[in-house]
């Protein structure tokens, strides 16, 4: 319930900001990393068989007009992704569809993945989500562009597929909003969950709608991508000081809403 309250609070921020972003969904892919590091995130729950998606034993039922209706269950699996952090967001390489997304060892074949860009707002908790095909071809594309020089030694120009998207697909304004990379790319297997959206109509029928994708990041934080609004929500594993985000109720001046931290993953050397 506390976690749901946190997500709801972030949804309120989204509705107020009216964040929308367009996307491109004609993916092709190539190996996205230069010299990626490999780690393993262990989380709970986890799939019973490595790499295979799972659902709960019985579909969720809800009563409508006196009828019990089966609702879709979450789609859960372990997924190998590539992550790179930026000054104001993230880039993730993910499998293009469940058949690829739910692989703990990705082949990184052409057409198997896409690059998700998350540009966060000034609070670092909500933002916009863009999707681009990973079309990096090392036979014709440069790994990095020498014309782009980071302003300091602790910032980096993204390379290969991430760099191609950063330089060629983002506008100058979007590139400035996202900023420079703050670390190298990391490839790791992590927890992935998809929750279907939808509603029950007046005839008691379930009408499917876009859902939400959830990943546990390398540092244990959670990131949620909303198919419907193309928005992204960032849930830190550490408690949030909601006084900085939401108005404090007048009945309890000075109080702080501090949700329980999300479960963190444990990174181990692969």
- Structure confidence by residue, pLDDT tens digits, 187-245: 999 999 999 887 777 887 878 788 999 999 999 999 999 999 999 999 998 765 655 54
Residue partners of 123: CB distance under 8 A and separation at least 6: 13, 244, 245
Q: Looking at residues 105-131, what average pLDDT do you find?
A: 93
pLDDT band per the 50, 70, 90 thresholds, residue 69: low
Give me the mean pLDDT over the 2-20 stretch. 47
Cβ atoms 29, 138 nearer than 8 A: no
| Kind of pairing between the strands at 231-235 and 75-86 | unpaired
3-state helix, strand, coil in the chain (%, to 5): 15, 35, 50
Tell me which residue has tokens 């079309």.
135
* Location of structure tokens 């404090």: 248
pTM: 0.67
Beta bridge partners of 216: 222
**Closest-CA residue to 158 (of 121, 126, 186):** 186
Give the model confidence (pLDDT) of 145-154 as tens digits. 999 999 999 9
Q: How confident is the model at residue 166 (pLDDT cuts 50, 70, 90)?
A: very high
Give SS3 for 221.
coil
Q: What does the mean pLDDT of the chain come to?
A: 74
Rounded CA gap, 93 and 162, in Å? 8
Tokens of 200: 């029950």
Q: Report CA torsion sign: 150, 155, 160, 165.
A: negative
What phi-psi label fits residue 171: left (phi over 0), alpha (psi between -120 and 50 degrees) or beta? beta
Residue 108: what pLDDT?
A: 87
Identify whether the C-beta of residue 76 lies closer than 8 Å to the C-beta of residue 213. Answer: no
**Distances in Å between the alpha carbon of 170 and those of 15, 127, 137, 167?**
24, 15, 18, 6
């Amino acid at each position: 319930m506390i976690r749901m309250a946190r997500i709801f609070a972030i949804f309120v921020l989204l509705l107020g900001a009216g964040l929308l972003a367009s996307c491109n969904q004609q993916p092709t892919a190539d190996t996205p990393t230069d010299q990626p590091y490999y780690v393993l995130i262990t989380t709970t729950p986890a799939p019973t068989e490595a790499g295979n998606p799972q659902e709960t034993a019985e579909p969720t039922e809800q009563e409508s007009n006196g009828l019990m209706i089966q609702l879709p269950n979450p789609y859960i699996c372990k997924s190998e992704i590539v992550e790179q952090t930026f000054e104001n967001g993230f880039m993730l390489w993910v499998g293009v569809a469940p058949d690829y997304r739910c692989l703990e060892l990705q082949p990184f074949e052409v057409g198997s993945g896409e690059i998700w860009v998350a540009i966060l707002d000034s609070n670092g908790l909500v933002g916009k989500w863009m999707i681009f095909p990973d079309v990096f071809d090392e036979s014709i594309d440069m790994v990095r562009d020498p014309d782009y020089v980071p302003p300091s030694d602790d910032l980096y120009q993204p390379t290969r597929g991430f760099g191609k998207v950063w330089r060629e697909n983002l506008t100058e304004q979007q590139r400035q909003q996202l900023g420079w990379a703050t670390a190298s790319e990391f490839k790791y297997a992590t927890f992935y969950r998809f929750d279907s959206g939808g509603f029950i109509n007046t005839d008691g029928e379930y009408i499917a709608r876009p859902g939400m994708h959830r990943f546990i990041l390398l540092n244990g934080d959670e990131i949620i991508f909303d198919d419907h609004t193309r928005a992204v929500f960032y849930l830190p594993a550490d408690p949030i000081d909601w006084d900085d985000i939401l108005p404090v109720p007048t009945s309890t001046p000075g109080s702080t809403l501090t949700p329980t931290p999300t479960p963190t993953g444990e990174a181990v050397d692969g």
